Structure 1
Amino acid sequence: MHEPVWFPSEAYQRGSHVEALLQRLKLNSYEALYAYSLDHPAAFWEATLELLGVEFSRPYSAVLETPEGPQWPQWFVGGQLNLTHNAVFRHLRERPEAPALIWEGEEGRQRSLSFAELAEAIQAAQRDLSALGIRPGDRVGLFLPMLPETAVAVLAVAALGAMVVPIFSGYAAEAAATRLNDAEARLLITADGFYRRGSRVALLEQARAAAKLAPSVKTLLVIRRFGDVPLAAGEVAWGEGPGSSSPGPVPIPCDSMEPFMLLYTSGTTGKPKGTVHYHAGFPLKAAQDLAQCFDLRVGDRLFWFTDLGWMMGPWAILGGLTVGATVVLYEGAPDYPGPDRLWALCERHSITHLGLSPTLVRALLPQGPSPVQQHDLSRLRVLGSTGEPWNLEPYLWFFHTVGKGRLPIINYSGGTEIGGGILGCTPWRPIKPMGFNTAIPGMRAEVLDAEGNPVRGEVGELAILAPWPGQTKGFWRAPERYLETYWSRFPNAWVHGDWALLDEDGHWFIQGRSDDTLKVAGKRVGPAEYESAAVGHPAVKEAAAIGIPHEVKGEAVVVFVVLKPEHTPSPALEQAITEEITHALGKALKPERLLFVADLPKTRNAKVMRRVIRAAFLGQAPGDLSALENPQALEGIAQHRRSSGS
């Protein structure tokens, strides 16, 4: 494993959330804090919420009860609160004029809302939603790009005690309708469109088609992003609804475990899973992680390149506002109209915390350092990353070119069902490239072998051995599927589906999804190991490794490679890259084949979909493709299958 590249400094410790927590709990090290969070969870969570300023309208009687086991925990028992109060309204007492949201559209428009202005917008939206018949417990679909109204809609629906159903803005009508039907949403909030690479995306057309396929949807509430698209019968313009002009309502108190969101995650097969999140779960976990790992402080500015339909969208909005930071939203592409767009945005809005996926960094890396160096990024204090394992070259580019070797990369891994992270980094410990220097406080994480025993220094299943706030309250109307997915492997252990390794220094490394993991000649290998070795060749932009059946080895490895623009496929280059992989992994793990493709299938948030690659190559049913942004990439893979006679 690599040696650390970043080391703690006083600048990242003084005034931090972790320092305040250490002082409150009378502890003397981060390691002591993490151990305390596991041994004394009630005291840890009470101190965490107190320091974050989280307010309950009715006090809870117990932090945690598990009468039905760790699969169904009850958090902050008997308490009542509303996430919208904690994210916005409580800040009005001390910081009403501080910026809460900053938005930039791809064509250059900008808007800013203070906490007072955001509260007023939420109250206006509440009135309109109430007039449209939305009541506590109702589900409301949000088929939206990243607009200021998107954040307002999330907060207004939650303020009413109803439930938001975020839907990725790039979905086709059928994929959106699948989620609306499963949730039985009564209302769909959408926009007349948005910009993507200079073109107008007609989102309202997809929303209308989705609503026709979802009988429960009675009304479309349309945000006028363009303003020149006529509305049809049954459609209401945002801000022009039937709500009265009476004094604005306040967020209603909700029980701690009252759901506020159904966040869908794509299934490998079958329909997507609706993870159920509650007022005292996801928002508090997001705020805790941002405070204790990313050290996001009051007045900082957080920008995570994401979409509302992915976990990181609601996570950034709810967690960032609850901490008291400014959340920056951006609608468009990261490199349009020029390769420096992302860095110009960071300079323009004085971003302090920037979150990108490894795949996005890999896409930006070939542009070189010049687009980054054109802009003053001196306000940046923390870099963030999530979504997939890193390769070394893009990690070091992010660290040295963007962070100038002085900023920590807070690597972060968890998921939709977690409500945040399992593993992360803390500025209180050295950071090794591509890894995680801690399990997040309160997360009793382990690496388990095939018998369910904890192991060190070898790859095993990432598991969680105690409940946490943010843990999904099961799958929507599918409790058996939830138990089968996460709790059926070992007694009372959440098995997450990631292969992980915990080294002797206490650093964690994700090796990939366990259902992606390869077993070659009896040796278990993560696809990321092949991919990292492949991109070690200077001609390779990105790579994806899959396993295919093999009569002798049981499983053989095929590596798909995307070359950098200045390189073209050739037998000599194929051999050279194969030798690079073999040198890194050993002759026994030499890939069976190496194939060149123009692109790899990815989600909008840049996750490579290996299961889809495997299905396309083997001619199998690909399962749920609703999250796929570039389906044309599958044709290049399928052509290799046909040409090889597979």
Structure 2
Amino acid sequence: MEAHGQRLLGKAYEDPITSFPLFQKFTAQNPEIYWSIVLKELSVWFHEAPSCILDEIDKSKPGGTWFPGSVLNIAECCLLPTSYPGKTDSNVAIVWRQEGCDDNPVCHLTLKDIRDQVMLVANALDSTFSKGDVIAIDMPMTVSAVIIYLAIILSGRIVVSIADSFAAKEIATRLRVSQAKGVFTQDFILRGGRRFPLYSRVVEATPDVVIVLPASGEAVNAPLRKQDKSWKEFLAQAAQHMRHCRSSEGTIALKVDNLRLDHYSPVYQPGESITHILFSSGTTGEPKAIPWTQLSPIRGAADLWAHMDVQVGDVLCWPTSFGWMAGAVVLYSCFLTGATLALYHGSPLGRGFGKFIQFNRWEFKLKGLGANLRRVFGSAGEASNIDDDLWLSSRAYYKPIIELCGSTELAGGYIHGNLLQPQAFGALSSASMATCILILDEHGNPYPDDQACEGEVALFPLLMGASTTLLNADHGEVYFKGMPLYKGRHLRRVGDVIKRTARGYFIVQGRADDTMNLGGIKTSSVEIERVCNLADESVLETAAVGAAPPQGGPELLAIFVALKEGFNNDAEKLRLQFSKAIQQNLNPLFKVSIVKILPELPRTATNKLLRRVLKDRVKKELPVQSRI
């Protein structure tokens, strides 16, 4: 069977238009074959090998048990050189540049450099935290953030993702739900030539201890609480801790004059052990806490390997942060394939970022990197605009743009573009590898695979790396309750509505539930409504919906308002008040585009809010309103 899969893959390269869909379908029907191929392509090393790829015996687990019996440390897999795919200690692992230093040469670290620094931080973690502790990262995705992330996992601890744009209240919620013992952050964020306080916002959330890195220079530029530590102090404790470290025989483990701070023994754990807690908003008003296991990163890395052809010698630059799944996916994609991670410490919206991604090709060659810099674009997080895609592609001799649509709980995508099929701007061309997607009609029945249609998407549940638990919600109720059976298994809920065109392309239409996608961030309507209801004394209740403009692109946020009896108000005044309240309490990147005042909000006979009716109303008015 595996040989058959390899032959299909070979045919897909020879005749991609007709053979690639066959290979994708084969991987969906035989996922264990696909993942056995992937493990040979990525630098995944098991300390103890699994008994098999997939065990479907336990029917209480809708997604099966993947790699049962496996023991590993996924951070170690990232840091070790391997003969295949060709990672060596001298390979450049990361290149970066600081905003404002745009005429300077790019900085770089080799794989060995990164490993040494990760082990130093891992030793320092032992001096401050206990094994198994949950530790948050709330800072931009810098070189230091990458090193901290890998060190937390290498040392047997768990990372918590917090976006550096969040308000103190949202930070506090994530610290409480995850029970984080500490936070890594920066004193400030330097972006677009401006300085934004970050440490003061984190402290407002009252974490136990904060380790503070300087945004620039060597010294932290903010007064710290008594229990908090600067980055320099934190690292200095590593040596002090090792001086007092004793082995099980009671002797000094390391002599004072021969400290090996660049050495650390990884903590090996079962494949299903949690390494990372991410958050995705639900409909309850509290963000869902989604644990990633050691297997989840393999899925994310495999997606970019298979669909974007990320490989040794490539340079991958994807502005994001560890607050979102993209940060972890990009990190693992680079370190497990041997590609180079490119980071710009600053705003990706200015000329400096443009210079960074076009830096001197000879400089790359001197560092052992390939010269083919702009080979492919990737796009994820929010719906793309066709005109924007055309403009971007035209700036790189019409290189393809590979779309990705997925979710945090899947640890990757479920529909993608790829380099083996013709691509259409603003659309996706196939299901992800080893993924079976179905589009359901209004009765919950799947449309035929070759039929143009539109409906809620569902997934066959055998998905390696996908979530199996939630920390603060019932996983089965959220993703499986009420879903139809297909081939003897309950389908998995995604929550997206997608359209399949007559030519077989997929176009994302928005959310089917009470969430929306604002700037690539899935956000609960309930969260937004809770803030807006308190923004003005005239507001009785609100309904938040998101709708994509007819020309494509990100969803616009619309708020429908019912006023209290005896009150009047102006829609534009409320729009400004709602935007300010949302930016202060939820996310400074969100804004309200449309406000409509209604006598009352439409509801069913059982008093359920008819969001679909409101969303349809917004769509009808968008050709005019989208100019706002």
Same structural fold, with TM-score higher than 0.5 when normalized by the shorter chain? yes
- Quick one: which amino acid aligns to residue 511 of structure 1? Q
* Alignment match, 2:623: none
2:265 to 250, 255, 280: 250
- Quick one: which amino acid aligns to residue 293 of structure 1? H
2: CA distance, partners of 1:435 / 1:614: 33
8 Å CA contact 2:559–2:594 kept in 1: the answer is no
* Alignment match, 2:68: 77
Map 1:232-271 to 2 at 5 A: 232-238=225-231, 239-243=235-239, 244=242, 245-246=259-260, 248-271=263-286
2: CA distance, partners of 1:440 / 1:85: 27
SS in structure 1 at match of 2:9: helix
List per-residue Cα deviations over 1:578-614 (Å, max 9, x = no partner).
xxxxxxxxxxxxxxxxx9989xxxxxxxxxxxxx989
SS in structure 2 at match of 1:396: helix
2:47 to 42, 46, 57: 57
1: CA distance, partners of 2:294 / 2:157: 11
Map 1:515-530 to 2 at 5 A: 515=513, 530=549
1:299 to 299, 302, 313: 313
1:507 Cα deviation after fit? 1.6
SS in structure 1 at match of 2:190: strand
1: CA distance, partners of 2:348 / 2:335: 23
Establish whether residue 206 from structure 1 lines up as the match of residue 201 from structure 2: yes
8 Å CA contact 1:530–1:545 kept in 2: the answer is no
8 Å CA contact 1:91–1:115 kept in 2: the answer is no
8 Å CA contact 1:501–1:509 kept in 2: the answer is yes
8 Å CA contact 2:43–2:82 kept in 1: the answer is no
Map 1:70-149 to 2 at 5 A: 70-71=61-62, 73-91=64-82, 94-108=87-101, 111-135=107-131, 137-149=132-144
List per-residue Cα deviations over 1:162-206 (Å, max 9, x = no partner).
110011111222211110111111121112222022122221112
* Alignment match, 2:331: 317
SS in structure 2 at match of 1:134: coil
Establish whether residue 410 from structure 1 lines up as the match of residue 402 from structure 2: yes
SS in structure 2 at match of 1:293: helix
Q: Could you tell me which runs of 5 or more consecutive residues in structure 1 were left unpaired when the two chains were aligned.
A: 1-17, 352-376, 519-525, 536-541, 551-594, 599-611
Establish whether residue 389 from structure 1 lines up as the match of residue 376 from structure 2: no
2: CA distance, partners of 1:430 / 1:473: 35
8 Å CA contact 2:557–2:594 kept in 1: the answer is no
* Alignment match, 1:567: none
- Quick one: which amino acid aligns to residue 277 of structure 1? W
1:484 Cα deviation after fit? 2.4
* Alignment match, 2:426: 434
8 Å CA contact 2:299–2:411 kept in 1: the answer is yes
* Alignment match, 2:348: 334
- Quick one: which amino acid aligns to residue 198 of structure 1? G
- Quick one: which amino acid aligns to residue 36 of structure 2? E
Establish whether residue 222 from structure 1 lines up as the match of residue 212 from structure 2: yes
- Quick one: which amino acid aligns to residue 425 of structure 1? G
8 Å CA contact 2:548–2:556 kept in 1: the answer is no
1:627 Cα deviation after fit? 5.0
Structure 1 window deviating more from structure 2 (168-177 vs 222-231): it is 222-231
List per-residue Cα deviations over 1:108-148 (Å, max 9, x = no partner).
2753211000000110011000111330x321011111211
Structure 1 window deviating more from structure 2 (194-203 vs 123-132): it is 194-203
SS in structure 2 at match of 1:240: helix
2: CA distance, partners of 1:545 / 1:457: 29
1:500 Cα deviation after fit? 0.7
1:305 Cα deviation after fit? 1.5
Change (3 A) 1:529 1:186: closer
SS in structure 2 at match of 1:201: strand
SS in structure 2 at match of 1:90: coil
Task: Normalising by structure 2, report the TM-score.
Answer: 0.74
* Alignment match, 1:368: none
Change (3 A) 1:294 1:490: same
1: CA distance, partners of 2:392 / 2:198: 33
Change (3 A) 1:289 1:246: same
- Quick one: which amino acid aligns to residue 253 of structure 1? Y
8 Å CA contact 2:212–2:230 kept in 1: the answer is yes
1:69 Cα deviation after fit? 4.0
* Alignment match, 1:45: 35
Change (3 A) 1:643 1:198: farther
Change (3 A) 1:129 1:264: same
Establish whether residue 22 from structure 1 lines up as the match of residue 9 from structure 2: yes
1:25 Cα deviation after fit? 11
8 Å CA contact 2:452–2:501 kept in 1: the answer is yes
1:34 Cα deviation after fit? 0.9
List per-residue Cα deviations over 1:89-121 (Å, max 9, x = no partner).
234995111111122222227532110000001
Change (3 A) 1:460 1:625: farther
List per-residue Cα deviations over 1:39-86 (Å, max 9, x = no partner).
222121111111223211111002122414454532100011111111
User: What RMSD, in angstroms, separates the aligned Cα atoms of the two structures?
Assistant: 3.7
1:453 Cα deviation after fit? 1.8
* Alignment match, 1:399: 393
Change (3 A) 1:509 1:637: closer
1: CA distance, partners of 2:301 / 2:361: 21
1:490 Cα deviation after fit? 1.2
- Quick one: which amino acid aligns to residue 200 of structure 1? R
Structure 1 window deviating more from structure 2 (252-261 vs 236-245): it is 236-245
Change (3 A) 1:613 1:120: farther
2: CA distance, partners of 1:327 / 1:198: 24
Change (3 A) 1:228 1:30: same
1:516 Cα deviation after fit? 6.9
* Alignment match, 2:556: 544
Change (3 A) 1:516 1:138: closer
Map 1:179-190 to 2 at 5 A: 179-190=174-185
SS in structure 1 at match of 2:265: coil
8 Å CA contact 1:86–1:322 kept in 2: the answer is yes
- Quick one: which amino acid aligns to residue 120 of structure 2? A
8 Å CA contact 1:21–1:48 kept in 2: the answer is no
SS in structure 2 at match of 1:531: coil
Structure 1 window deviating more from structure 2 (388-397 vs 113-122): it is 388-397
